[in-house]
Amino acid sequence: MKRTLLACMVFVLAAMQTPLTAQPATIVLNADITTDTISRHIYGHFSEHLGHCIYGGIWVGENSPIPNTRGIRNDVVAALKRLQIPNLRWPGGCFADEYHWMDGIGPRENRPKMINTHWGGVVEDNSFGTHEFLDLCEQLGTEPYICGNLGSGSVEEMSKWVEYITFDGKSPMADLRKQNGREKPWNVKFWGVGNENWGCGGNMTAEFYADQYKRYATYARNYGNNRLYRIAGGPSSGDYHWTETLMKNVPLNLMNGLSLHHYTITHNWTYKGSATQFTEDEYFNTIKSTLVMDEFVTRHSTVMNQYDPQKKVGLIVDEWGTWFDVEPGTNPGFLFQQNTMRDALVAGINLNIFNTHADRVKIANIAQMVNVLQAILFTEGEKMVLTPTYYVFEMYKVHMDAALIPVTFKSPEYVLNGKSVPAVSASASRDKLGKVHITLTNADPHKEIELNLELRAYKPAGVSGMVLTAKELSQHNTFDNPEVVKSVPFKNFKLNKETVSVKLPAASVVMMEL
């Protein structure tokens, strides 16, 4: 009798704490309020001379049996063109501040070899250099974003690189470019002046870097109609002192953008955990680490607003994504990790954050494009596979250059062991044809979440959507099973005049077109 009474009391207490039916959350879309444009450059990518990102991932050489155009893989180009990638950052990363561009021009057989001291200690033969990178960008129809060497280079070296690429006239660098087979200059707008100069780019103080930046940026000149968008090497994560120092000491006419790097890690930099074998607690910590991006963007923007209230300087999140331990048996310096449904959720959350901060975030680059960290593509010999993160970018591309629609809602909580994080993230936009798109993530791995989308000043004629989800968070695509996790049409919604009721599957990314 006592045991039965105790069991009843436990049941009643549990019922009091957990509602039998959760009320749908309401998301309000103010379609008549569109003040900012979501820059297409938020959907940028990053390719560093690291592991098999360039060699094997992008570049195989003209003599390779793998189908290629002037040495660049045809399958990779086709897959990236589907995403309409807006810009591509190169050659690093840490590699940028030990890269000397003149080693990568001219006949390939005459280019000097070097050791890639940052990434794996392997030989870099410089067969993929300036001409090859800009050929890749032309094949992709994307804008180049070149990161110059401030750490171990010189003002003269970067100045001459800009001249070599963009000057349409008579000069030693323009003549050298023509000698190497390119008569007309390229248009290259985006230039990074160093990378992570607080760390691998020279271990500098913010004050020292600010002075160096002004020297380098002064001599990175505009030629002809090519107008440079100069990007200063900004802070890591929550280093607000670095941001304030740069904003206070660098004239705004010399700086168009300030970079920010933040990686999602589950534990710490010594032990980052497995990309595929993780507990729910580790998954929860991954989502929590990702959501901190909103705080960093908000607080760095607040600092920037003090010195740049007109928001002329863009916040450039040119390295973001997950960082786990490398796959067993691979070179630790190659940073190869698998890509699961967990990574897809991280991508969706980050992109929603960047969209929401479209007033200040102007460029972002996921790290990295092929075979490294949170890659969107894997290659192995002649094989290629799309990762879950690839499908997120494919669904979210509808936001490129669209008008941001303010979204207001209170997210349900994802609770684990007494800790909680918002389960749902969202962003919305209106494109030039008048279509409204909303992207949603549900980070709760157990619960389907019901939402009511309240549309203000907008009456949709119809609704369609795509969804990415998986039975297990650790599921991923392999060369043998390339379509385990992929986007499919989403139909779990109902249109009622000016509202849409939606049921988000557990652990899912959804895009809806209204």
CA angle 166, 257, 172 (to 5 degrees): 20
For the stretch 68-114, pLDDT in tens is 999 999 999 999 999 999 999 999 999 999 999 999 999 999 999 99
For 373, residues 6+ apart whose C-beta sits below 8 A from its C-beta are 263, 321, 322, 323, 335, 337, 367
pLDDT reading at 1 higher than 90 = no
Mean of per-residue pLDDT scores for the chain: 94
Query: What is the pLDDT, as a whole number, of residue 252?
Result: 95
Confidence check: pLDDT of 3 > 70: no
Q: Where are the alpha helices (DSSP H) in 18-149?
A: 74-83, 130-140
Specify the amino acid at residue 474.
Answer: S
- Active-site residue, selected from the candidate residues 132, 143, 319, 394: 319
pLDDT of residue 267: 92
Question: Does the annotation mark 62 as catalytic?
Answer: no
Q: Provide the pLDDT for residue 7.
A: 38
Query: What is the rounded distance in angstroms from the CA atom of residue 55 to the CA atom of residue 88?
Result: 16
Mean pLDDT in residue range 219-243: 97
Catalytic status, residue 319: yes
For 425-435, write each residue's pLDDT tens digit.
Answer: 999 999 999 99
Query: Model confidence over 47-69: pLDDT tens digits?
Result: 999 999 999 999 999 999 999 99
From residue 45, how far is each of 29, 146, 149, 325 by CA, in Å? Answer: 29, 12, 19, 21
Catalytic residue among 132, 163, 196, 394: 196
pLDDT of 24 reads 82
Cβ neighbours of 21 (radius 10 Å) = 6
Binning pLDDT at 50, 70 and 90, where does residue 9 land? very low
Name 25's bridge partners: 451
Give start and end residues of each alpha helix (H) in 58-104.
Answer: 74-83
